Every structure is written in structure tokens, then in C-alpha cells.
A and B are shown apart, each in its own frame.
Chain A
Amino acid sequence: QKEVEQNSGPLSVPEGAIASLNCTYSDRGSQSFFWYRQYSGKSPELIMSIYSNGDKEDGRFTAQLNKASQYVSLLIRDSQPSDSATYLCAVLVYGQNFVFGPGTRLSVLP
């Protein structure tokens, strides 16, 4: 059974700090990786996608992928209170459906 694991949190960081969110997955056939942000009472919103090993940067967000270790992470630099949300890691094996992790709740303290 395919599994995606995340620390449930809450992860608390002070405003301006770097928030580091981690995700591991069990299926070595996984080939596409995504980070979604979900505010309380709202639907998930795609913020990053990564397909190859290494880092991918988009503004204050950096996604890191290590397929050998089956590990993907999301770094949020200069964290803001508006970043407080649940972050969902999603993994896709081609030809199959997305598998989501349980999410990590991030709290950025002013």
C-alpha cells in the first residue's frame, strides 16, 4: 500500500524564520511530488511541484527532492503569519492517482 508520511505538527516558528516541512513516501515508483497549502476551512491550493532530484525555488518557497532517500521537503523562508496553514505533501505514480500525506500544521508566531 502506498503511503505518504508527514509530521502532523503543529510546527511553530517565529515570524521571519525558516520553516522546514518534511515528507517521506513508500513507493519507489513515485515520480511527481507536490506541496499543497490548506487554510482552515478552505480547499487545498497547489504551491509547489517537483519532478527531479535537487532543489526547486519559487519565491520564498524551496522544494527539495531526494528519490534515493524517498524524501521530499518544503522550506519557507522569511515565514509570515499568513503562512500559517496545513501543508499537504502529495505523491503521484504515473498512471495512478495522487496519494496525500496527513498534512503538517504550521503556525507562524508574530
Chain B
Amino acid sequence: KAGVTQTPRYLIKTRGQQVTLSCSPISGHRSVSWYQQTPGQGLQFLFEYFSETQRNKGNFPGRFSGRQFSNSRSEMNVSTLELGDSALYLCASSVTPPGGTNEKLFFGSGTQLSVL
């Protein structure tokens, strides 16, 4: 079974631009979560989608948004990029929403975003 697939693997943007990241979950997984990872802050939760609905959102500004499609694939968008947005963006999938009993998260390889 294929794992969580994220594209692109690397991305270089300049301040003020916007970016869209893509995530395809493991087949049969309907929940997708997004995390930002930086050396100083560790893994920070961005948001989680299940059945095309955003169920939880972390403490990030409105410049960060996402959506989920009917096939469970998800996209994350960051508008008006800032230098501080440089990070590894990880997508994780699970069968059901993370709040369920005995649920586990499986991560993709991530998108390394550099903002110049």
C-alpha cells in the first residue's frame, strides 16, 4: 500500500508570494492533518480535515488555509509568504479523525519550503 505522498518535495519562494502544497493520503484514510516543523518550534499543528470539513485548526494566521477534496486529497495554501514561513510542512493521514480511539498518524515525506 502506498504511503502518504506530498508534492512538491522542495520549494523556493520569495516574500509576498503564495504557495500551494499537495498531499495524497494512504488509500482508505479519510483524515488529513498538516503540521509545520521548524528547528526552534518543533511540530506545530496547522489544521485537520475529515470528509472535506476542517475539524480542528491550530494557532496560525489566516494566511494559512487548506481544503480537502472528495477523494481525501488535501491542499494547503500560504498567502503573502514571510521569511518565518520557511519550514518543513508535513502532512499526515489517519483512517478516522485523530480523536478516535487507538488512532495513529502516518506522515508523508514533507515539503521543504524556503522563503527568500
Binding site for B on A (CB under 8 A): 32, 34, 36, 42-46, 49, 51, 88, 90, 92-103
- B99 contacts A34, CB within 8 Å? no
Does B66 have its Cβ within 8 Å of any Cβ on chain A?
Answer: no
- Please indicate the chain B residues that have their CB under 8 angstroms from the CB of A102 in the complex: 42
Kindly name the residue among B35, B43, B99 whose own CB sees the greatest number of chain A CB atoms within 10 A.
B43
- B90 contacts A97, CB within 8 Å? no
Q: How many interface contacts (CB-CB < 8 Å) are there between A and B?
A: 54
Q: Which of A42, A51, A93, A98 contacts B105 (CB 8 A)?
A: A98
- A43 contacts B107, CB within 8 Å? yes
Does B70 have its Cβ within 8 Å of any Cβ on chain A?
Answer: no
Q: Which of A42, A49, A96, A99 contacts B109 (CB 8 A)?
A: A42
The chain B residue with its CB closest to the CB of A45 is B107
**11 CB-based A-B contacts, threshold 8 Å:** A32-B101, A32-B102, A34-B105, A43-B90, A45-B107, A49-B102, A88-B43, A93-B99, A94-B99, A97-B58, A98-B105
- Please indicate the chain B residues that have their CB under 8 angstroms from the CB of A97 in the complex: 33, 45, 48, 56, 58, 98-99
- B106 contacts A100, CB within 8 Å? no
**Distance of A10 Cα from B100 Cα, bound (Å):** 33
The chain A residue with its CB closest to the CB of B94 is A98
Given contacts A34-B105, A96-B98, 6 further A-B contacts (CB under 8 A): A32-B102, A36-B107, A46-B106, A88-B42, A92-B98, A100-B43
Does B108 have its Cβ within 8 Å of any Cβ on chain A?
Answer: yes
- A98 contacts B106, CB within 8 Å? no
Does B110 have its Cβ within 8 Å of any Cβ on chain A?
Answer: yes
- Please indicate the chain A residues that have their CB under 8 angstroms from the CB of B105 in the complex: 34, 46, 90, 98
Q: Which of A42, A49, A96 contacts B104 (CB 8 A)?
A: A49
10 smallest CB-CB distances across A and B, nearest first, come from A95-B99, A100-B43, A43-B107, A102-B42, A97-B56, A94-B99, A97-B45, A44-B107, A43-B109, A43-B110
- Please indicate the chain A residues that have their CB under 8 angstroms from the CB of B107 in the complex: 36, 43-45
A106 to chain B, nearest CB (A): 16
